[in-house]
């Protein structure tokens, strides 16, 4: 027994952009009962083609996943890596066919029926894990910067400016470099834990504390409405596509008694 139920939802706003290039979705395991996959992708180039491909590949790979009795966190991390690398290959092939560069970020979260979560991250979109409104973990570029310093022998300042170089940018579809995937996990989850997947059109305008408070106090739909409204206000007409998926663990409702107890009469 998990001791909680899942409340989840997704939301989007086009911001000040001419079209919506972000995509997000929630999937249940076709062959893995009790497993949930949340995915978010931000199409950076080529319109929404790359982010659409992220969702298509994620669903296809997840539908084939057979969980067995209790898969390890490492196995679930490899499943997310598989989604990333398969999507990356397809996007690159599509770009050759269309002669159009296609790029996308990726955030994926798997929740298990064993009170565990595993997530993966590539690019500028983020995942937050909040516990009772406090930020327990979040993705960032720190691991990728360390990777560039170690593997590419770059000075730290040059590595931190990777977004300005097509040779270093970390995105699915980059023909010049394989995506670098960071993996995180959490165990012993329970009511009060919340996960937020979002594009930079949202997180750019909020502190961790603000996001934690909003997702902790409100249901996913209410929280997303408030956050999108505030993001548009703070963007002052210059906002990017704003997209999020919220997965919240809450206490299950108490069962109402549907019976009465009466004193048994003595048999005669």
Residue 143: its pLDDT value, please?
87
Mean pLDDT (the chain) is 92
pLDDT, average across residues 15-20: 94
Ranking 97-106, 147-156, 230-239 by mean pLDDT, the lowest is 147-156
CA pair distance 2, 5, nearest whole angstrom: 8
CA pair distance 133, 135, nearest whole angstrom: 7
pLDDT, average across residues 83-96: 97
Residue 93: its pLDDT value, please?
96
Which residues have a Cβ under 8 Å from the Cβ of 80 and sit 6 or more positions away?
A: 108, 110, 118, 119, 120, 181, 183
Residue 204: its pLDDT value, please?
94
pLDDT, average across residues 89-113: 96
Decide the pairing of beta strands 126-131 and 134-138: antiparallel
pLDDT, average across residues 64-87: 96
User: Domains of the chain (ranges plus CATH)?
Assistant: 5-250 (3.60.40.10)
pLDDT, average across residues 134-140: 97
User: Which of 135, 249, 148 lies closest to 203, judged by CA?
Assistant: 135
Q: How many CB atoms lie within 10 A of CB 258?
A: 5
Q: Is it the case that residue 159 has pLDDT exceeding 80?
A: no
Which residues have a Cβ under 8 Å from the Cβ of 233 and sit 6 or more positions away?
A: none
Coil vs helix vs strand at 172:
strand
pLDDT > 70 fraction of the chain, expressed in percent and rounded? 92
pTM of the model: 0.91
Q: What is the pLDDT of residues 221-259, one digit of tens each?
A: 999 999 999 999 999 999 999 999 999 999 988 766 555
pLDDT, average across residues 196-215: 97
Q: How many CB atoms lie within 10 A of CB 31?
A: 11
pLDDT, average across residues 18-41: 96
In this structure, is the dihedral angle defined by the CA atoms of residues 235, 125, 108 and 45, taken in order, positive or negative? positive
Classify residue 113 as exposed, middle or buried by CB count within 10 Å of its CB (0-12, 13-18, 19+): middle
Ranking 77-91, 105-119, 155-169, 191-205 by mean pLDDT, the lowest is 155-169
Residue 266: its pLDDT value, please?
54
Binning pLDDT at 50, 70 and 90, where does residue 268 land?
A: very low
DSSP 193-260: EEEEEE-HHHHTT--HHHHHHHHHHS-HHHHHHHHHHHHHHHHTT-PPPEEEEEEEEEPPPPPPP---
Residue 156: its pLDDT value, please?
81
Q: How many CB atoms lie within 10 A of CB 262?
A: 5
Q: Is it the case that residue 260 has pLDDT exceeding 80?
A: no
Q: Is it the case that residue 265 has pLDDT exceeding 60?
A: no
């Amino acid at each position: 027994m998990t001791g909680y139920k899942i409340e989840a939802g997704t939301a989007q706003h086009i911001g000040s952009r001419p079209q919506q290039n972000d995509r997000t979705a929630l999937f249940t395991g076709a062959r893995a009962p009790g497993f949930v996959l949340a995915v978010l992708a931000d199409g950076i180039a080529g319109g929404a083609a790359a982010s659409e491909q992220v969702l298509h590949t994620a669903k296809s790979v997840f539908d084939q996943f057979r969980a067995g009795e209790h898969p390890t966190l490492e196995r679930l991390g490899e499943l997310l890596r598989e989604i990333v690398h398969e999507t990356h290959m397809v996007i690159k092939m599509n770009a050759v066919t269309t002669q159009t560069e296609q790029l996308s970020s990726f955030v994926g979260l798997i929740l298990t029926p064993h009170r565990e979560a595993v997530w993966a991250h590539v690019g500028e979109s983020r995942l937050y894990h909040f516990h009772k409104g406090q930020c327990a973990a979040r993705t960032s570029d720190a691991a990728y910067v360390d990777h560039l310093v170690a593997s590419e022998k770059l000075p730290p300042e040059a590595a931190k400016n990777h977004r300005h170089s097509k040779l270093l940018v970390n995105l699915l579809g980059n023909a010049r470099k394989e995506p670098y995937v960071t993996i995180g996990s959490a165990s012993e989850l329970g009511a009060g834990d919340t996960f937020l997947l979002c594009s930079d059109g949202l997180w750019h305008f909020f502190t961790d504390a603000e996001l934690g408070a909003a997702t902790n106090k409100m249901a996913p739909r209410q929280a997303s409405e408030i956050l999108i409204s505030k993001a548009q206000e703070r963007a002052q007409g210059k906002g990017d596509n704003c997209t999020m998926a919220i997965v919240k663990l809450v206490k299950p409702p108490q069962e109402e008694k549907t019976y009465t107890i009466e004193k048994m009469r003595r048999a005669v």
